[in-house]
Amino acid sequence: MSAHEPSDADWPVHDLRQSLDEGLARGAMLLTAGERHLVQRMLRLEGPAARVYARLLGRKPLAFPLDELTVPGVDDVPAAVASLRDGGWVDHLVPWPLRAQLLPRRRLVEGCRRLGLRRSGRVTELVQRLTPHTHWCDTPFVRPRHRGLVRRLQRWAALRAWPRPEERILERMGVTRWASYRCSSGPGLHPDRRSLRRWEALHGALGAEQLSVDEAIRALEDGTGDAPARLSLRGTLRRALQAHARQTERTEPADAVALYERITPLFPPGTLAFRHARALEACDRPADAFDVLAAARPHVHGDTLADVLRALKRVGRKQKRGVPPSPPLSPARRRTVSLPYVRTDHRPLWRGAPEAEPLPVEEALVDYLSARGRPAAHVEGRVFRTLFALLFAEAYFLPVPGQLPVPRLAGPLDLGSPGFFARRPVATAEVLAAVAAGDAARRVGQAVDRWGEVRLAGRHDLPAELLVAVADALPPQAFVQLLRTLAVERSAGLPDLVVPPGAAVTVDGHPRRVREGLLLVEVKGPGDTLSEAQKRWHHRLLGWGLAVELWDVRPAG
């Protein structure tokens, strides 16, 4: 690879070589001698031939009509293709049915005219007419070879089952900035080549949506789809099985029950309990449905717990079986606020002031409070996720084995799990101690300057003034509890608005006076209700000593 900055035309070649180098370094032992030799030859491609080959591999179509193939920086594309063909990098072996699928409509019409076929209709109809025929087009096609080997190395380089090549482009354009860190070694990609080939067969079947239920279950049972980091296919397999079970439940509840019983052990406890119970109810087996829900109750929380409890109580009444109540949650203080309402054909809109632009209810309340001298922000959980990211940014990129295995990561692979704190006990404890000592606001301000526009997992584009104000207003011990919780749980359910400390103001509603200190506000319009996740977060925040209110917005007058 050249040490100088590539030209615009050579960036695709640069990106291809970089992926091949990184993939080869990570998984050379899984390649055959012939494959390694091919990769080394590929890395030595230069000039127009390299540009054309990188262009062919960087686009989705499997083949390209030669007379419509343009490559930046290459004046004589046919000559470059001829050079690639002589080297064994491309061929012209493209079946006629595939050619019909790859050509634009005008070329299909020309082919139909040439064969005397009807030329009207949709593109799919034109393709169907041409599929049985050959030699209806004179242009040669070009197909890149070794695409599978390149895709394999690109997956290894990014540690993604489906890589995102646009990330490199966005970084060069300045749209995205990634942190600079030393990659840490981690577990091997696959135990052996046989495991690799089984994984690739499963990956191909998933991509083509040709995987049967039995094959998906076997793959989860024997670990065929297991691989490090984002190469793992376990989540994709589970989602596919869930979707199939849900579809089966609509038409054949008995088959769905049998399927749920097979796949439940392959999911985290309680994940499928609600749907499993509904299928049992549809089969007139309420006693079994009750048992499934009761067994799942200790393992679920949030909105899932609410679904399970409602179903458990409903089925329990029919079975005359009692359901122990859950501990009560502390409710947020309710406030009614009146705003001018604008009726529309779509979502309801509100005005924060008589002549203001109609907005969704949360944004209208922000305008309403700002007009009264109390700035607010509609941030939901974004402000707290961003504070977490800024405070722990240094800990994100510590050289923990296996957690930063590739470049262009916004955070370590164990972020959001108990392992994040457990693997960095000194760094995370130091941050929590500083927050407990009241040093959070200063640290947040420094982190904003230190990390600039660098991508951090959980960070959102919010004003630095708002972040510092919230960090300064949060009681230290409450802030510590909040950070500990966000380290392992999702932020869904946190209040809609953050109202930083300011002067007390009055609103049109009851009660009228809004307190001076930090206030977290959940906003509900007519007909809206609190979710279980929101109730749970309100209970926590109130228990930590934070002010949380539920504002019911009603049309003025």
- pLDDT score at 46: 94
Relative orientation angle of helices 234-251 and 193-207, to the nearest 10 degrees: 40
Residue boundaries of the structural domains of the chain: 8-173, 193-319, 331-378+493-557, 381-490
Express the helix, strand and coil content of the chain in percent, nearest 5 each.
50, 10, 40
Assigned CATH topology for domain 193-319: 1.25.40
Instruction: Give pLDDT tens digits for 263-308.
Output: 999 999 999 999 999 999 999 999 999 999 999 999 987 778 888 8
- pLDDT score at 1: 39
Beta-bridged to residue 521, according to DSSP, are 497, 549
CATH of domain 331-378+493-557: 3.40.1350.10
Q: How far apart are alpha carbons 484 and 144 in whole angstroms?
A: 51
Q: How far apart are alpha carbons 545 and 499 in whole angstroms?
A: 16
Relative orientation angle of helices 302-319 and 532-543, to the nearest 10 degrees: 120
- pLDDT score at 2: 43
User: Residue 371, CB half-sphere, CA atoms under 13 Å: how many?
Assistant: 15
Task: Give CA separation, 206 vs 1, 200, 233, 240, 261, in Å.
Answer: 35, 10, 9, 9, 23
Helix (H, G, I), strand (E, B) or coil at 334: strand
Instruction: Give pLDDT tens digits for 111-166.
Output: 999 999 999 999 999 999 999 999 999 999 999 999 999 999 999 998 899 998 88
Helices (H) and strands (E) in the chain, counts: 25, 13
Helix (H, G, I), strand (E, B) or coil at 328: coil
Strand spans (E) along 484-537: 497-499, 505-506, 509-510, 513-514, 519-524
- pLDDT score at 104: 92
Task: Give CA separation, 324 vs 274, 296, 303, 304, in Å.
Answer: 18, 14, 18, 17
- pLDDT score at 4: 62
- pLDDT score at 9: 80
pLDDT of the chain, 557 residues: tens digit per residue: 344 677 778 899 999 999 999 999 989 999 999 999 999 999 999 999 999 999 999 988 999 999 989 999 999 999 999 999 999 999 999 999 999 999 999 999 999 999 999 999 999 999 999 999 999 999 999 999 999 999 999 999 988 999 988 887 877 776 778 899 998 877 789 999 999 999 999 999 999 889 999 999 999 999 999 998 889 999 999 999 999 999 999 999 999 999 999 999 999 999 999 999 999 999 999 999 999 999 999 998 777 888 888 899 999 998 888 888 888 889 999 999 999 988 777 778 999 887 788 999 999 999 999 999 999 999 999 999 999 999 999 999 999 998 998 888 899 999 999 999 999 999 999 999 999 999 999 999 999 999 998 999 999 999 999 999 999 999 999 999 999 999 998 888 999 999 999 999 999 999 999 989 999 999 999 889 998 889 999 999 999 999 999 999 999 87
Phi, psi (deg, nearest 5) at residue 104: -75, 170
- pLDDT score at 322: 86
Q: How far apart are alpha carbons 211 and 419 in whole angstroms?
A: 33
With a CB cutoff of 8 Å and minimum separation 6, the contacts of 500 are: 375, 376, 377, 466, 469, 470, 473, 518
